[in-house]
């Protein structure tokens, strides 16, 4: 099938219709002109059905239904993180192009299996590091690549999830290591990407449960700062918190020998309100609000990569590099010492 502009339409099946899957479903169906939401798969059929019904897509709880469908060219994996790598392998073996939300895997052995499976099958494999597609982060990266910041000396990446005055209401359900493998993984990718050509050599972590200390004994870590050293001399920090009362706070910064670039914004609109207490401004409250266009752009570029046969803009190898840093950061936290990346594999 072709769009009015003659573009080949990529038929995509969504696997995992939870919070972020529901968002991607809407983008694939409505905001990426040359993609179509062909099917929605979820372990819970009722969940798959309710998302599929909005876009006239097929719903199923059986992955094989979409893997065996020759009209479906690609999958978008948005299920729980611990099954991502297995789903990547199954989709690749069925010859489907793969978009997978981060983290593509929770360990390096499974990550390598997923990369190998996509390579063997010759299918595109893109991972959901959406920050790279945000206009400000992309412009910062381009300035670094053009050499305008000189040699990077200090880098910073921050992720603070929006919080509530009552603290983390669902802390008991947060799986151990989530802050490293699902949150800071974005920051590690950002730092590696903003320091092109450099390799991380050492990682040191300080982390705690400061937002919900009552869950610390059950393994919750809700606050973490990680310091990274690179082989080009640059020193970087990645910071994450599960609760910022003022909203969703994501920022990046590269400071170098010729200047600095910063990316990230807080305000949801330029409107300022002036009153007795002073001046106030509304802030962004969610990832979907801050990165809406970036989420659309990543899927759009995934479809382009399939159509043109080019390498996707974020690869399985990129996901492996970020995962390696996350694993080093976890080891550093456990062993209370700096960890060399060579210890990780």
Ligand X SMILES: NC(=O)c1ccc[n+]([C@@H]2O[C@H](COP(=O)([O-])OP(=O)(O)OC[C@H]3O[C@@H](n4cnc5c(N)ncnc54)[C@H](O)[C@@H]3O)[C@@H](O)[C@H]2O)c1
The residue behind tokens 């670039």 is 261
Is 99 exposed, middle or buried, given 0-12, 13-18 or 19+ CB atoms closer than 10 A? Answer: buried
Q: Could you tell me which residues come within 8 angstroms of residue 1 by beta carbon, excluding any fewer than 6 positions away?
A: 8, 9, 11, 36
d(CA 101, CA 182): 10
d(CA 73, CA 56): 18
Looking at beta carbons only, is 79 or 118 nearer to ligand X? 79
Using CB under 6 A as the binding rule, whether residue 315 contacts ligand X is answered as no
For ligand X, the binding residue among 128, 163, 200, 256 (CB under 6 A) is 128
Question: Is the CB of residue 335 less than 8 Å from the CB of residue 223?
Answer: no
d(CA 341, CA 136): 29
Beta bridge partners of 263: 252
Of the candidates 48, 35, 54, 47, the residue with the CA atom closest to the CA atom of residue 97: 35
For ligand X, the binding residue among 12, 41, 327, 344 (CB under 6 A) is 41
Q: From residue 229 to residue 268, what is the string marking binding to ligand X with x (rule CB under 6 A)?
A: ----------------------------------------
Please identify the residue of the shown chain whose CB is closest to the bound ligand X: 18
Rounded least distance, CB 128 to ligand X, Å: 4
Question: Would you state the structure tokens that stand for residue 179, as one six-digit string?
Answer: 């802050």
Question: Is the CB of residue 22 less than 8 Å from the CB of residue 53?
Answer: no
The residue behind tokens 């412009």 is 139
Positive or negative CA dihedral for 302, 94, 44, 177? negative
Of the candidates 69, 53, 195, 189, the residue with the CA atom closest to the CA atom of residue 131: 189
Using CB under 6 A as the binding rule, whether residue 227 contacts ligand X is answered as no
For ligand X, the binding residue among 11, 13, 16, 305 (CB under 6 A) is 16
Rounded least distance, CB 331 to ligand X, Å: 21
Using CB under 6 A as the binding rule, whether residue 45 contacts ligand X is answered as no
Rounded least distance, CB 216 to ligand X, Å: 22
For ligand X, the binding residue among 10, 13, 14, 17 (CB under 6 A) is 17
Rounded least distance, CB 130 to ligand X, Å: 5
Looking at beta carbons only, is 128 or 316 nearer to ligand X? 128
Looking at beta carbons only, is 23 or 211 nearer to ligand X? 23
Q: Tell me which residues in 165-184 interact with ligand X (CB under 6 A).
A: 182
For ligand X, the binding residue among 34, 66, 81, 299 (CB under 6 A) is 81
- Give the DSSP per-residue string, 272-333: -EEETTEEE--B--SHHHHHHHHHHHHHHHHHHHHHHTPPPSS-HHHHHHHHHHHHHHHHHH
For ligand X, the binding residue among 68, 80, 257, 317 (CB under 6 A) is 80
> Using CB under 6 A, which of the segments 3-11, 38-46, 106-114, 200-208 binds ligand X?
38-46
Rounded least distance, CB 287 to ligand X, Å: 5
Using CB under 6 A as the binding rule, whether residue 319 contacts ligand X is answered as no
Q: Could you tell me which residues come within 8 angstroms of residue 27 by beta carbon, excluding any fewer than 6 positions away?
A: 295, 296, 299
Q: Could you tell me which residues come within 8 angstroms of residue 150 by beta carbon, excluding any fewer than 6 positions away?
A: 256, 257, 258, 259
For ligand X, the binding residue among 19, 68, 206, 258 (CB under 6 A) is 19
Using CB under 6 A as the binding rule, whether residue 287 contacts ligand X is answered as yes
Using CB under 6 A as the binding rule, whether residue 313 contacts ligand X is answered as no
Looking at beta carbons only, is 41 or 323 nearer to ligand X? 41
> Using CB under 6 A, which of the segments 75-83, 110-118, 193-201, 259-267 binds ligand X?
75-83
Rounded least distance, CB 264 to ligand X, Å: 14
Using CB under 6 A as the binding rule, whether residue 102 contacts ligand X is answered as yes
Which spans of this chain sit near ligand X (rule: CB under 6 A)? 15-21, 41-44, 47, 78-81, 83, 101-102, 128, 130, 182, 287
């Amino acid at each position: 099938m072709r769009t009015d502009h003659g573009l080949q339409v990529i038929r995509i099946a969504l696997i995992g219709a939870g919070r972020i899957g529901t968002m991607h479903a809407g983008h694939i169906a409505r905001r990426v002109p040359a993609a179509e939401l062909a099917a929605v798969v979820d372990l819970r059929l009722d969940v798959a059905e309710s998302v599929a019904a909005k876009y006239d897509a097929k719903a199923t709880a059986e992955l094989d239904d979409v893997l065996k469908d020759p009209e479906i060219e690609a999958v978008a994996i948005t299920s729980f993180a611990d099954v991502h790598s297995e789903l990547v392998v199954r989709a690749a073996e069925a010859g489907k192009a793969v978009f997978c939300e981060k983290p593509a895997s929770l360990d390096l052995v499974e990550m390598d299996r997923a990369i190998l499976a996509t390579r063997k099958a010759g299918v595109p494999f893109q991972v959901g590091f959406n920050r790279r597609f945000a206009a400000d982060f992309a412009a910062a990266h381009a300035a670094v690549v053009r050499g305008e910041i000189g040699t990077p000396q200090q880098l910073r990446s921050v992720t603070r999830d929006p919080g509530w005055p009552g603290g983390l209401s669902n802390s008991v359900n947060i799986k151990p290591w989530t802050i490293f493998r699902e949150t800071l993984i974005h920051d590690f990718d950002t730092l590696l990407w903003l320091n092109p050509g450099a390799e991380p050599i050492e990682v040191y972590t300080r982390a705690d449960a400061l937002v919900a200390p009552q869950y610390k004994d059950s393994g919750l870590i809700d606050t973490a700062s990680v310091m990274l050293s690179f082989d080009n001399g640059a020193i970087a920090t990645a910071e994450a918190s599960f609760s910022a009362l003022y909203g969703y706070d994501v920022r990046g910064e590269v400071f170098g020998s010729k200047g600095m670039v910063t990316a990230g914004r807080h305000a949801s609109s330029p409107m300022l309100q002036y009153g007795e207490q002073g001046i106030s401004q509304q802030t962004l409250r969610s990832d979907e609000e801050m990165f809406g266009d970036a989420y659309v752009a990543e899927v759009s570029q995934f479809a382009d990569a399939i159509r043109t046969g080019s390498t996707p803009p974020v690869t399985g190898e990129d996901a492996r590099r970020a995962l390696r840093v996350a694993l080093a950061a976890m080891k550093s936290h456990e062993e209370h010492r700096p960890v060399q990346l060579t210890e990780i594999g």
